[in-house]
Amino acid sequence: MALRFMVSFAALALACADRTAHVSSHTSYHPQPSYQPRPSYHPQPSYGHHEPAVPACAANTTKPWCLEDAEYPTYEIKHAIDYHFSKVIDLYADVADLNTELSVERPNTLEEETYLCPSDTAYVRPLRAQNTDGKWRVIVNNIETHYKTFTQTTRIEECLTSGEACPLVPECYDSKCLQKSVYHRFLVYDPYDQYFPFAIETFKLPASCACLLGAFTIDH
């Protein structure tokens, strides 16, 4: 009788131990997996998927280009050039021959030149400009990456008295100051082109101020 009681007690204890182990295996704590923090992104521009028709820098000028731009995407352009460097350098080489940066080293040439019509001449590096289709574009300028500086300099000359008579021509001649333009190509950046955000586009810029002479007349 005592022996049966001891065997029954041992079996009961074994069953309890097995149940306890079974419950413990289901209630054991597993640590939560660790995750990397979510990357932070710049907020999406409020104007959607296209550049605004007129950039903010155009509010400070009446000219179809901006030499200063508080919203110029320098970091984004550098990152895109780094990613597409081999293709961009080929495009840049196509317009580098048009760069008139070296002319800045000869400022005396401008002072010594004489024109029949008054004009302002300057060497500029536009940051944004209006292309021949009338659309504003971001121009790649003053960007340093891969131990190289991407610049695009051009010479402009604007008539101060366009449409008026040439001041150095005798009144017996029918004359008129005429603004002449040239078509210039620039490497531009499109922030909304997800595949290759660079291209070469054409821009119309003032190039010289000419004096148009008409017929000789004699007033009696």
**184 φ, ψ (degrees, to nearest 5):** -120, 140
**H/E stretch holding 202:** strand 198-216
Tally of CA atoms within 13 A in the half-sphere of 14 that contains its CB: 6
Q: Coil, strand, or helix at residue 20? A: helix
Q: How far apart are CA 178 and CA 106, in angstroms?
A: 26
Q: Which residue has the tokens 């030499």?
A: 67
Q: What is the pLDDT of residues 160-214, one digit of tens each?
A: 999 999 988 888 888 899 999 999 999 999 999 989 999 999 999 999 998 888 7
**105 pLDDT exceeds 70?**
no
pLDDT of 52 = 79
Give CA 2 to chain center in angstroms.
Answer: 95
The pLDDT assigned to 171 comes to 84
- Locus of tokens 């007129």: 54
Amino acid (one-letter) located at 173: Y
Task: Work out the average pLDDT over 93-100.
Answer: 70
Helix, strand, coil fractions of the chain, as percent rounded to 5: 30, 30, 40
Q: Report, as an integer, the average pLDDT of 11-15.
A: 47
* pTM tops 0.85: no
Are 175 and 214 a contacting pair, CB within 8 Å?
yes
